[in-house]
Chains A and B, each alone.
Chain A
Amino acid sequence: MRTKFWSLAFQIPGSVRSRIVRYTAMPLVATMLLQSLSAQQPATPGTGAPKPEEKSTPAEKPKTEEAKKPSEVIAIVGGDIITVTRETIRKGTILVENGKIKNVGKDIEIPSDAKKIDASGRVITPGFVCINMSGVGTSSSAGFGPSPSGGPGKLADELNPFDRKIQVSLAIGITSGCVQIRSGGGGRFGRAENEGFDFTERFPEFDPDDATLAYFDAPEERDYGVIQRLCACCNLPILPTEPITSPPPSPILPQKSSVVKMSYGVLKGMFVKDSAFLELTPGALTGASNQAAWRDQIGKAKKYLKDQAAHEQATKEGKREQPPRKPVSDEILSLVKREVALRITANRVSEIRDQLDLAKELSYRLVIAGGLEAWVIPKEIAAAGASLTITPRNRREARFGEEETSGSWIELPRVLEQSGIPFAVETLEDAVSAVGLAGRDLTSLPLEAAFAVRGGASESRALAAITIVPATMLGLQDRIGSIEVGKDADLLILNGPPLDYRTYVESAMVNGKVVFTRPEDKVLPVYDRAQN
């Protein structure tokens, strides 16, 4: 009965059906696996109970002691290493020292004092990078709370390395994630929803959070203009009210994303990058007025950078000049400097084209989120050098009369791969949640990548879509996303191929430290599948 349901649900194509017949022992996995990977794993995945040697760090105590001996070398031996960016190494060895990958290969001398982790029969992959994540490792209000300096609190100060959701994320292999900072005043809809009105707008210069208010209440210090009239009945002053005319478009404020690692129990090294990504709400750049405001801001940013360079030059020459005033946020400046990419949702062909045009005109890096109809114009996207984050299971009906050129298409991943467009895979929901529909949240990330394989992408490309591609989008391709010498030791030891839905993460290492072991942390069921 169950088999029937699955076959219906997945609509197994004929090409793979023959393989399923051959591998009767693994009925459905085959559809989700790369040919190459399944070849590596001829036996049924997950044989045997987790070996005690793998529980290298069973409790909190050894974990932290390990961190205090930085020179310790860890050797992960015997596993099949999927490096993502290089060739796969069978029964290879990875040496980890000081949180970095010291060496990786087949015939590597293991120092005698190295701590060995036996991974024979296991698959080792880089930790997965989640491109869109929220509420993991931080309090829900991260970035919201005011700091004494007036600005929003810093995410780095609000991290919670003991969040249970970190363990849940590690259990399915996520070791790094891009967290949105939803600070106040975001986007065009900046007026805070919970407050009746904005004090600062109503009373210019009256900042209720100004700490000086608490100390000084001398009336002469704050002058809000002469009160013209008093109310006839209550004798209270009638204060200036907001103009009835609609205000001019406020500047578009992109929201910032920060990268955090899922280093359970370890604060050091958890915060990776403050500003890795710019996010804009869908529609923030649609319409002439929005786009004009955006062009204006980018123009200001460019002018500021030019002025600043001139100012630095002048300072070098010994002239004393006022430095130029920063007209836009730091995030927009780094966008203009191409240090970070802009990520914006665009699904329809027209929306995607709009964004491509804007990015080309203003020359910033663009990442299109969604991209359901990207299969219609792959050449244009490839030519613009944009990349995509897709959710292969997302579906949208074609529009009436445009059946051939609109709506979602299951083969989007194949089209993207063949056109050479880098794409990352994200989940339907960006949170770890037990209340939503199972299989939609972050815990389905590898499964979502498997659906890219279903849509015609190669398995290696699908794995890259949750490792090196998102790492590159975040500007962290030198640190995470693949197994290479010198990169952060964010590694997964899996009991099967990475995109197989039956595969469990046996243990996860972040910054060279084992932060998750399946038998110890009891997130996913702990049992021996071989008996089935």
Chain B
Amino acid sequence: MKQVTQNRFLRIAQQTFTVAVCSALSFSALPAQDVVAIRNATIRTQGKDGVIANGTVLIRNGKIAEVGPKVDIPIVAQVIDGKGKTVTPGFVSIFYPVSTQRDSSGGDGSRVVTVQGRTFVIPGRSPAASTSFVKVADILNRDSVEWKGPLRAGVTTMNLVTAGYSQAAVASPSEDKQTSKVIEPNGRVVVTVTNSTQSLDLLRNNLKAPSRSVPSGIPPNMAAMMAARGMRPPGSGTPPGTPTGATPPTGATSEQANASTPELTPEQKLWSEVREGNSPLFVVVNNSATILHVLQVFQEHPKVKAIWVVNGADAYQSLAEFPKETTRLVLPPAIDFVPNSRDKMNVPAIAAERKLPFVLSFGTRTEESQLAPTFALAMLVKTGLSEDSAMKSVTLGPAEFLGLEKTIGSIEVGKVANLILFDGSPFEATTAINNVFLEGRPVYED
């Protein structure tokens, strides 16, 4: 306990110095073997240790080296006194929409086609436009993503998605967009579904086992038409609506189509993972009816595990319809109105009561999140959600949904040291964030 007797002034000086150095070197230049200890804090580990009152977390090399009520703090460690404070795992934003800045002609309800070298603007969106597959990691524009805001709200991991039909990417935000990095470029498949034939067909066609000559995503009649006209099927991932002259990739793709046992395209591989239940599918729905329609589609594919991004009231209306084994919900952290009524309800609490796995979509409302990052959590806890499931639903829960529960989501030895230091209980609306640690580095300080 020598460290405890360390001069307070020295500690503060050390801290200040560290912060100064950090700002000067823009953090990434910090030596990785830095040792940080947070002591005397309430630690919500979300792991097997549960909540440790008056515990210590020791961070070494960006990982959690030790955690517990009694931890020997090495003399080189930078010590942060956490008396009256709470340490939680960094929040995981399960559904963080990013803009992709592509195909400007598709958005405004008109599109441009070129006929014999002449350009026409045709009203109406292309039916193929919304079914185009986007890999977020490939088209991510770092400049267009708001990295800092979520970080200030304690979000240390973001699942980046785009509207429509895409493959998500998991990223780790940093105070500098250059150091923000994609940690998992091959994320989950995300598909936005509405109750329309077009939208449901995308799901149905992709969930079907791929036939030999029809590339996924292209309706059979179109493939037949293409065959009749002697056209080549496009390579997967080729964005439709490409300007004139952009011929689809030849070679490998056409060979594939002609081969007797064609290899699956990357897109098809993703879907076969989904079909077998190895990788959950993000289903974004905007109304309760669509939930029933999609569940009807899933009846033929019982292995499919779905992560439903839904609004609380919509989920509530179909809550009993969800098969518990294959359902995970992503709910907004809010109180909803009971449909057709002015009564209010706490849908996350209801889901917890029914033992439906759910997480909260967190960190997307940046302005609100920064002022009172845990206000929404506090509100849900005050109206019936247990503290533990509230905390789990923004940390370990989403990490599990993303398949990253082994590295992030809880404060356990060996995991990445993404931590938040609150100046009180995180379930009080007035509590603010003191520090956010990203891989052991303090990246945000209030």
Tell which of A60, A158, A162 touches B196, judged by Cβ atoms closer than 8 Å.
Answer: A158
A64 near B321: Cβ-Cβ < 8 Å:
yes
Interface contacts (Cβ under 8 Å), in number, total: 137
For residue A321, which residues in chain B have a CB less than 8 angstroms away from its CB? none
Is B319 a contact partner of A60 (Cβ separation < 8 A)? Answer: yes
CB <8 Å contact, B219 and A149: yes
A148-B198, A206-B115, A267-B293 known; A217+B126 contact, CB < 8 A? no
Complex Cα distance, B195 from A163, in Å, reads: 13
In the bound complex, CA of A158 to CA of B197 (Å): 7
CB pair A159 B289 closer than 8 Å: yes
User: Which residues of chain B are within 8 angstroms of A248 by Cβ–Cβ distance?
Assistant: none
Q: Does any Cβ of A come within 8 Å of B404's Cβ?
A: no
Which chain B residues lie closer than 8 Å to A236 at the CB level?
118
B124 located at the interface, meaning its Cβ lies under 8 Å from any Cβ of chain A in the complex? yes
Q: Is the CB of A162 within 8 A of B320?
A: no
Flag if B201 contacts A214 (CB, 8 Å). no
* Nearest Cβ on chain A to B346's Cβ, whole angstroms: 16
Contact yes or no, B128 A211, CB < 8 A: yes
Residues in B neighbouring A195, C-beta threshold 8 A: 123
Query: Is A4 interfacial (CB-CB < 8 Å)?
Result: no
Q: In residues 88-143 of chain B, which contact A (Cβ within 8 Å)? A: 113-118, 122-124, 126-129, 131
Q: Return the chain A residue nearest B129 by Cβ.
A: A214
Interface residues as binary, A189-233 with B (CB distance below 8 Å gives 1, 0 otherwise): 000000100010000001011011111111101101001000000
A161 within 8 A of B: yes
Known A199-B122, A212-B231, A216-B248; judge A164-B198 contact (CB<8 A). no
Which A residues lie within 8 Å of B222 (CB)? 148, 211-212
Interface segment, A104-112, A139-147, A399-407?
A139-147
| A212-B226, A224-B115 as given contacts; A153 in contact with B124, CB under 8 Å | no
What 1/0 flags go to B185-217 for Cβ under 8 Å of A?
000000000011110111001000000000000
Other-chain residue from A63, A146, A199, A206 in contact with B127 (beta carbon distance below 8 A) = A146
Say yes or no: is B178 at the interface (Cβ < 8 Å to chain A): no
Shortest CB distance A204–B (Å): 13
A19 contacts B by Cβ under 8 Å: no
Among residues of B, the one whose C-beta sits closest to the C-beta of A208 is B122
Report whether A153 and B221 are in contact in the complex, using a CB–CB cutoff of 8 Å. no
B297 (CB) vs chain A CBs: closest residue? A157
Q: Does B61 contact A (CB under 8 A)?
A: no
Q: Tell me, yes or no, whether A324 is within 8 Å of chain B by CB.
A: no
The answer to whether B225 touches A162, judged by C-beta atoms less than 8 angstroms apart, is no
Q: Does A157 contact B113, Cβ atoms closer than 8 Å? A: no
A521 CB to closest chain B CB, in angstroms? 8
A283 within 8 A of B: no
> Do the beta carbons of B246 and A217 come within 8 Å of each other?
yes
**Are A139 and B122 neighbours in the complex by a CB distance under 8 Å?**
no
- Residues 117-168 of A at the B interface (beta carbon under 8 Å): 139, 145-150, 153-154, 157-164, 167
Cβ of B262: which chain A residues have Cβ within 8 Å of it?
Answer: none
A502 at the interface (CB under 8 A from B): no
Q: How many positions in chain B have a CB within 8 Å of any CB in the partner chain?
A: 56
Q: Which of A61, A162, A214, A219 contacts B288 (CB 8 A)?
A: A162
Would you call B201 and A148 a contact (CB within 8 A)? yes
What CA separation (Å) do A320 and B32 show in the bound complex? 77
Q: Given that A157-B195, A162-B339, A265-B317 are contacting pairs, would A209 and B124 also be in contact in the complex, using a CB cutoff of 8 Å?
A: yes
- The residue of chain B having its C-beta at the shortest distance from the C-beta of A213 within the complex is B113
CB atoms of B248 and A215 under 8 A apart: yes
Contact B122 A60 (CB under 8 A): no
Closest Cβ neighbor of B119 among chain A residues: A236
Flag whether B292 is at the interface (Cβ < 8 A): yes
A221 touches B340 (CB 8 A): no
Q: Bound state CA distance, A206 and B197, in angstroms?
A: 23
Report the minimal beta-carbon distance from A262 to chain B, rounded to whole angstroms: 14
Cross-chain contact A208 with B113 (CB below 8 angstroms): yes
A374 to chain B, nearest CB (A): 39
One digit per residue, 1 when the CB lies within 8 angstroms of any chain A CB and 0 when it does not, for chain B 221-240 equals 11001100101001000101
Distance, CA A147 to CA B243, complexed state (A): 24
Complex Cα distance A60/B317, Å? Answer: 7
Which B150-190 residues have a C-beta within 8 angstroms of A?
Answer: none
Given contacts A157-B293, A158-B196, contact A215 B320 (CB under 8 A): no
Alpha-carbon separation in the docked complex, A521 to B339 (Å): 10
Is A306 interfacial (CB 8 A cutoff)?
A: no
Tell me, yes or no, whether A249 is within 8 Å of chain B by CB: no
**How far apart sit A65 and B238, CA to CA, in the bound complex (Å)?**
45
- Does A529 reach chain B (CB closer than 8 Å)? no
Q: A212 vs B123: C-alpha distance in the bound complex, in angstroms?
A: 17
Report the Cα distance A236→B339, complex, angstroms: 56
Which residue of chain B has its CB nearest to the CB of A270? B292
B221: chain A residues within 8 A (beta carbon): 149-150
Decide if B218 touches A211 in the complex (CB within 8 Å): yes
Decide yes or no whether A237 CB sits under 8 A from chain B.
yes
A145 to B198, CA, bound (A): 8
Residues of B within 8 A of A147 (CB): 127, 196-198, 201
Q: Is the CB of A217 within 8 A of B289?
A: no
How many Å from the CB of B227 to the closest CB on chain A?
A: 11
B317 touches A216 (CB 8 A): no
By the criterion CB–CB under 8 Å, are B321 and A153 in contact? no
Contact A211 B320 (CB under 8 A): no
Is A160 touching B287 in the complex (CB atoms < 8 A)?
yes
The contact of B128 among A162, A214, A222, A521, by CB within 8 Å, is A214
B28 in the interface (beta carbon within 8 A)? no
Nearest residue (CB) in A for B234 is: A215
Tell me if A237 and B320 are in contact (CB < 8 A). Answer: no
What's the nearest-Cβ distance from chain A to residue B97, in Å? 24
- Which residue of chain B has the shortest Cβ distance to A196 in the bound complex? B123
Task: Collect the chain A residues with CB atoms within 8 Å of residue B282's CB.
Answer: none
For the complex with contacts A146-B127, A148-B205, A160-B289, 7 further pairs of A-B residues with Cβ separation under 8 Å are A148-B219, A157-B293, A162-B289, A209-B126, A209-B127, A211-B126, A219-B117
Interchain Cβ contacts under 8 Å between A and B, 10 examples: A60-B317, A60-B319, A65-B320, A147-B201, A154-B197, A163-B289, A199-B122, A215-B240, A216-B247, A224-B115
Question: Which 10 residue pairs spanning A and B have beta carbons closest together?
Answer: A214-B240, A153-B197, A214-B128, A267-B292, A160-B289, A64-B320, A147-B197, A148-B219, A157-B197, A211-B128
Chain A residues with CB under 8 Å of chain B are 60-61, 63-65, 139, 145-150, 153-154, 157-164, 167, 195, 199, 206, 208-209, 211-219, 221-222, 224, 227, 236-237, 265-268, 521-522
